[in-house]
Amino acid sequence: MPLAGLLALATAGFITIMTEALPAGILPGMSADLGVTEAAAGQTVTVYAIGSALAAVPLTAATIGWPRRRLLILAVAGFAIANGVTAVSHSYLLTMTARFVAGVVAGLLWALLAGYARRMVTPGQRGRAMAIAMAGAPVALSVGVPLGTFLAQLVGWRFTFGIMTALTLALIGWVLATVPDFPGQARADRIPLRRTVRIPGVAPVLVVTLAFVLAHNVLYTYIAPFLAPLGLAGRVDAVLLVFGVFSLAGIAITGAFIDRRLRRLMIGCSGGFAAAALTLGLAGEVHWLVFVGVAVWGLAFGGAATLLQTASAEAAGPAGDVAQSLVVTCWNIGIAGGGVVGGLLLGGVGAGALPWAVLALLLPAIVVTVCARGHGFPSPAVRRERELAG
């Protein structure tokens, strides 16, 4: 297992999520420095997601033939430039442009990471390799963003973005030293986007990705207003810490069993998340029950990205990178859509409706996962048959 190289990929994912999510914790200082409202500063997260959603598919298709390490380094360098500009910019328009660029390179990077990790190891290690490479995301959410927010309160948000720029530059050297290069896909081997979507198993994975991420962001985006009526307005940090710790546990469990139990793990994640939503909907002001629901939610969410990207890669085969770009697009649509749907519910029927909306969104994800036993989320027997045939 080429651990140093896989950890470099995980650090790239860490920087991606840190860049995306950090503004949520530093909105007051950021809005004051840029001379805009907190709502306007919050759009730095939205424009990032839009950049990822718009760029993932066309950029992946345009660069499918490029050498993989060169493309990886260019994507990482894009983060260094975008975060560096964000750290020094006093213009709201320039900051938003930098954030959009960061989102664009994030869409390319996420589409690249999964296939890269799988090519670095033997077939029997692919699931574990992807779990390591994807570990940067939950670490960023559980540790990086709270730490970055705390640091921003001490020394300023610009300094925090400056540190991320320095870390990104160091990562370029790390990639050069530890990550092997692979050729891009030959023109004759490329599968067009339309044919990729029609490959058996790809569409079910995309449907589950969209439903799962949409459900997650309906609640996660508005966790503070959801907790306030329950008497936990002052415990949001503790709730998010529980979520983050159990997310790390979820990705560890996924890494241990994904090569043999992908289908069961995905059903368990969707079912566990649904059980957590039900618990949160019924918990009321029973605080320990809220924490239990959040813990189960974190456990279910932690390994979801690895499971969905692995399922997509296995279903798509040679079209894996294009399929990953579609997963990234669905993921970012889910992020943006979760904010919209959750906001409408919050302003309409109130925060108490959020977990019930999550439950409703997860039901089709569970049904599609269970039904996709032949392609998408194949049963162990089907996977064995394919391994023998291969």
**Residue that finishes a domain, picked among 186, 215, 236:** 186
| 77 lies in the same domain as 220 | no
| 304 lies in the same domain as 215 | yes
| 235 lies in the same domain as 324 | yes
| 141 lies in the same domain as 250 | no
> Residue 216 is inside which H or E element, if any?
helix 202-220
**Residue that finishes a domain, picked among 171, 186, 201:** 186
Residue 301: give its domain's CATH number. Answer: 1.20.1250.20
Q: Distance between CA atoms of 308 and 264, rounded to whole angstroms?
A: 12
Model confidence at 380: pLDDT above 90: no
Q: Distance between CA atoms of 169 and 389, rounded to whole angstroms?
A: 44
| 169 lies in the same domain as 280 | no
| 38-62 vs 27-34: helix crossing angle, rounded to 10 | 90
| 102 lies in the same domain as 238 | no
Specify the DSSP class assigned to residue 156.
-
| 368 lies in the same domain as 241 | yes
| 231 lies in the same domain as 114 | no
- Mean pLDDT, the chain, integer: 87
Q: Distance between CA atoms of 388 and 390, rounded to whole angstroms?
A: 5
pTM of the predicted model over 0.85 = no
Per residue in 127-165, pLDDT tens?
A: 788 888 888 887 887 778 778 878 887 888 999 999 999
Model confidence at 272: pLDDT above 90: yes
| 68 lies in the same domain as 198 | no
| 142 lies in the same domain as 54 | yes
Q: Give residue 38's domain range.
A: 1-186
Q: What is the pLDDT of residue 279?
A: 96
| 26 lies in the same domain as 98 | yes
> How many domains in the chain?
2
**Residue that finishes a domain, picked among 186, 213, 243:** 186
Q: Which pLDDT band holds residue 180 (cuts at 50, 70, 90)?
A: very high
| 259 lies in the same domain as 382 | yes
State CA 74 to chain mean position distance: 20
